[in-house]
């Protein structure tokens, strides 16, 4: 009988703690995510913890002063594969007219053709970075940024990325 009481108390505690967690989550600050949408089979909404579970890669790029900076994140190709975008063997024919529009929280936008992101076309690996030197990205840069190695201007290594939108080029 005593045992029964103890297990009941434990159960009630567990129930209360999960409800409190839910309550806390509801009042917490909105979590930053990157949405993958458009011509995708499976739209994604990726948080920092989602990215940590994916196949990761490092990439480096020069900053405005020409110094090499090292970042870690997930290859954009892996994200597109997970979203069911026509990369790899399917990247042919009309699919070669698709592009990825990158949108940032301040409204900044840049595009890449899908072929620029696919290892069957290029050895350059563009990543969606979430950390630099093992630390989260700085305010105004992160929590997510693109790192595009080997470009003379850092303009496409967009800061504060919020959306990766796949579309067909029409006309």
Binding site for another protein (CB under 8 A): 29-30, 32, 105-108, 139-141, 159-160
Q: Which is nearer to another protein, 6 or 29 (CB)?
A: 29
Question: Least distance in Å: CB of 72 to another protein?
Answer: 21
Q: How far is the CB of 160 from another protein (least distance, A)?
A: 6
Q: Can you name the residues that pair with 168 across neighbouring β-strands?
A: 98
Nearer to another protein, 8 or 155 (CB): 155
Q: How far is the CB of 90 from another protein (least distance, A)?
A: 29
Whichever of 119 and 140 has its CB closer to another protein, that residue is: 140
147 phi, psi to nearest 5 deg? -125, 115
Query: How far is 61 from 153, CA to CA, in rounded Å?
Result: 10
E strand or H helix that includes residue 16: helix 2-27
Strand partners, 99: 113, 167
Q: 98 and 86 in contact (C-beta within 8 Å)?
A: yes
- CB of 139 vs another protein, minimal distance in Å: 5
β-pair type (135-136, 127-132): antiparallel
> Looking at beta carbons only, is 98 or 103 nearer to another protein?
103
């Amino acid at each position: 009988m005593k045992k029964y009481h103890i297990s009941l108390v434990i159960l009630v505690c567990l129930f209360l703690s999960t409800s409190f967690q839910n309550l806390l989550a509801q009042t917490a600050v909105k979590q930053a995510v990157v949405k993958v949408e458009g011509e995708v089979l499976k739209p994604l909404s990726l948080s920092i913890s989602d990215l940590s579970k994916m196949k990761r890669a490092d990439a480096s790029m020069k900053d405005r002063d020409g110094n090499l900076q090292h970042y870690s994140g997930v290859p954009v190709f892996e994200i597109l594969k997970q979203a069911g975008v026509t990369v790899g063997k399917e990247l042919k024919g009309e699919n070669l007219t698709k592009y990825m529009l990158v949108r940032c929280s301040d409204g900044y936008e840049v595009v890449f053709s899908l072929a620029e992101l696919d290892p069957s076309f290029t050895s350059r690996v563009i990543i969606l970075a979430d950390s630099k030197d093992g630390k989260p990205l700085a305010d105004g840069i992160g929590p997510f940024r693109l790192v595009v190695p080997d470009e003379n201007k850092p303009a496409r290594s967009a800061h504060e990325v919020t959306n990766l939108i796949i579309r067909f080029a029409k006309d």
